[in-house]
Amino acid sequence: MVGRKLHTDGLLELRNISLVYRALPALRGVHWYITSGQQWACLGPNGAGKTSLAKIISRQATHFSGELLRSPELEKSGVAYVCFEHAKALCERDKKMDDSEFRADATDPGTAVQSLILSGRDPNKQFQYWVERLKMKHFLHRGLRFISTGEMRKALLVKAILSQPALLILDSPLDGLDLASQREMQTVINELLQSHITVLMLCRQMEDVPTGITHVLVLNNGEVLGCDTREKIFADAAVQAQMYPPAPNLGTLPPPSSRAYALPIGKPLLELRNVAVHYGKLTVLNHVNWTLDLGTHCCISGPNGCGKTTLLSLITGDNHKAYGQNITLFGIKRGSGESVWDIKQKFGQLDTQLQLSFARGMRVVEVVVSGFFDTIGLYDEWGDAQRNDAQQWLCALGLADYLHENFDALSFGLQRMVLLARAMVKSPIILILDEPTLGLDGHHRKLMLRAIDHIARNCDTQIIFVSHSAGETPACINQHLSFEPSDEGFELVCRGFPAGTNSAVS
């Protein structure tokens, strides 16, 4: 701001910053500044205010009170903000502009990765360096809608680096990456922390703060809990208590809802034999063989882009490539006259996209009841029976206190737990959890895994758990489907093991 001065060597300063989002306080009276030579992390659990802070700094949010002071260097070179919401917005934009139906080949490639990164500029040596460094050559000319989460994250990071910002904000940069990509990204982050670029990392757990970070700002419900060097913050008892609070008690699972169908007797729930999926010259799945029986809880793992999401879409009825193949779902061969809704009523599902799709203003009980109808929102009449089941499931998962709260007022982690209750109210035969711990802080991650094991132990629902990260599989898992590199892309390898012995599964 004109007429006000930053601290000596200051890059950025916030003075008494407050922000209200959807009628709720997101930040309250934040005082904080960054000086040259410092590398920062903003630490806090889901709902602490980290994203609101980043949006103010990057000028994506302007309706705040207080003063935001930026140095001439920051004004000139700007802020680059790499986050999940940006990736989602780019993909949604490409979907809206899709003109496949008007093309002779019925395919719209969309915005290519290289075009996104360069924004009309010619490739230079720095671009070539990062492409080689992050092994991006094979997807540079693919459209944004046809790359994996990890590939998108790499593309956005390189785009940000090439803009040569004075401040680079990285929002949970390891989310959604397989183990190899996580290690690769950690190396790149460590390199950036040693460069001239000032970095601000948004972290949900203390373990995510790299050693190259010199200072940490800790937020709690929009307020500053601590602001000091990395060593002092990590030794602070108040910070430890916030990041690792006690877990609420779980309740008894409610009796199963009535089902309008019968379980297959003496047959697998799912059976795929020599299944393949091709899109033009691109082979996504090949020679897939998989059987899921009653009593089996399966973890599906593999690197970004290997075909996990495609495999799930084959069994849930969302992919037309299932027709004409040897796929049997719940004792019925695919394409034998069953409808997509006949299939979907047997599944409960939870993923990040579902969480981001719910409309504002719904109460928690309404979100859970919508699971009976497989809708995002409530368009059918519902009554005391559904309300009672919803309440029982919230109690069973330790969420009884949130029954009448607004869903969008809850933290990201609590929303994910509510959606687990939504997935279970209709007592599905199979519960599909696609990266259920993605975006969660350490506390809510433990709550989610504990709740999944609670479900597996106490009802007849089978679990299909998709995850990239080591140490994030529930104890109930007794089958592992692993996508492993082969000469033809990826080979799906199936292994079984006793439940509770899967700690090495990634």
**Residue 101, pLDDT score:** 47
Structural domains in the chain (count): 1
What mean pLDDT do residues 252-263 have? 86
Model confidence over 120-147: pLDDT tens digits?
A: 899 999 999 999 999 899 899 988 888 8
Q: Is the pLDDT of residue 405 over 60?
A: yes
Q: Is 78 among the domain residues?
A: yes
Q: Is 155 among the domain residues?
A: yes
Q: Is 328 among the domain residues?
A: no
Residues near 8 by Cβ (< 8 Å), separated by ≥ 6? 35
**Residue 181, pLDDT score:** 80
Structural domain including 123 reads 10-243
Q: Is 198 among the domain residues?
A: yes
Model confidence over 431-458: pLDDT tens digits?
A: 999 989 988 888 999 999 999 999 999 9
Q: Is 196 among the domain residues?
A: yes
Q: How many CB atoms lie within 10 A of CB 127?
A: 20
Q: Is the pLDDT of residue 24 over 90?
A: no
**Distance between CA atoms of residues 481 and 491, nearest Å:** 10
Whole-prediction pTM: 0.79
Per-residue pLDDT band at 3 (split at 50, 70, 90): very low
Q: Is the pLDDT of residue 257 over 70?
A: yes
**Residue 8, pLDDT score:** 62
Q: Is the pLDDT of residue 103 over 80?
A: no
Q: From 375, 384, 475, select the one nearest 422 (Cα to Cα).
A: 375
CATH of the domain at 78: 3.40.50.300
What mean pLDDT do residues 416-426 have? 95
**Distance between CA atoms of residues 48 and 53, nearest Å:** 10
**Residue 1, pLDDT score:** 40
State how far the alpha carbon of 190 is from the alpha carbons of 26, 36, 74, 160, 461, in Å.
30, 17, 22, 16, 43
**Distance between CA atoms of residues 428 and 422, nearest Å:** 11
